[in-house]
């Protein structure tokens, strides 16, 4: 089963894995609008990135943030999640949210882990040097999801 995980944001963290643990791939796509772009360009870039990553996906998991301190960040997050969900619906791919605290607790033992803790957890578990916390979060969301879902290797 090919599972794709997203850390929704303007810097869109992503991770995917197939049936074998060594098939893990991950990265970050910067979806920020350019200097002369409209704010909506962010969502066009997100849509393009999500669509390209869903080519063979059989399950999609994204970070399910329930509380934002900044209203503008909440609006952007909601738009990005809407794009992920829409792309999945159009392709018939099941999707689910991964609660932030549960992912952090599964990764570090603390539900309120800091960004550095999450990056360190990826280094410990996978031996990977990640670009930033967005990529680390996507990998750990993927790990959490694989622990939640029974994956049939057939």
* Alpha carbon distance 99, 132 (integer Å): 20
Q: What is the pLDDT of residues 22-47, one digit of tens each?
A: 889 999 999 999 999 999 999 999 99
Q: Are 17 and 3 in contact (CB under 8 A)?
A: yes
* Alpha carbon distance 129, 121 (integer Å): 11
Q: What is the pLDDT of residues 49-66, one digit of tens each?
A: 999 999 999 999 999 998
Point out which residues pair with 139 in neighbouring strands.
none
> What is the token pair recorded at 95?
């999707």
Q: What is the pLDDT of residues 12-21, one digit of tens each?
A: 999 999 877 7
Average pLDDT, the chain: 93
Residue-by-residue DSSP string for 7-29: E-SSEEEEEEE-SSGGG-EEEEE
**Tokens 């990056």 belong to which residue?**
119
Q: Are 49 and 29 in contact (CB under 8 A)?
A: yes
Q: Are 62 and 81 in contact (CB under 8 A)?
A: yes
Q: What is the pLDDT of residue 121?
A: 97
22 contacts: CB under 8 Å, gap ≥ 6: none
* Alpha carbon distance 130, 48 (integer Å): 22
CATH topology of domain 3-148: Nucleotidyltransferase; domain 5 (3.30.420)
């Amino acid at each position: 089963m090919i599972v794709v995980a997203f850390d929704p944001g303007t810097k869109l963290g992503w991770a995917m894995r197939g049936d074998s643990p060594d098939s893990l791939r991950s990265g970050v796509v910067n979806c920020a609008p350019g200097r002369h772009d409209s704010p909506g360009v962010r969502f066009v870039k997100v849509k393009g990135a999500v669509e390209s990553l869903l080519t063979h996906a059989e399950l999609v998991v994204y970070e399910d943030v329930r509380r934002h301190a900044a209203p503008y960040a909440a609006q952007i997050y909601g738009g990005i999640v809407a794009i992920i969900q829409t792309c999945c619906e159009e392709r018939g791919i099941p999707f689910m949210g991964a609660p932030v605290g549960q992912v952090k607790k599964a990764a570090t033992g603390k539900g309120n882990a800091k960004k550095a803790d999450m990056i360190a957890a990826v280094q410990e578990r996978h031996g990977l040097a990640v670009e930033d916390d967005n990529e680390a979060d996507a990998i750990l969301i993927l790990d959490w999801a694989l622990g939640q879902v029974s994956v049939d290797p057939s």
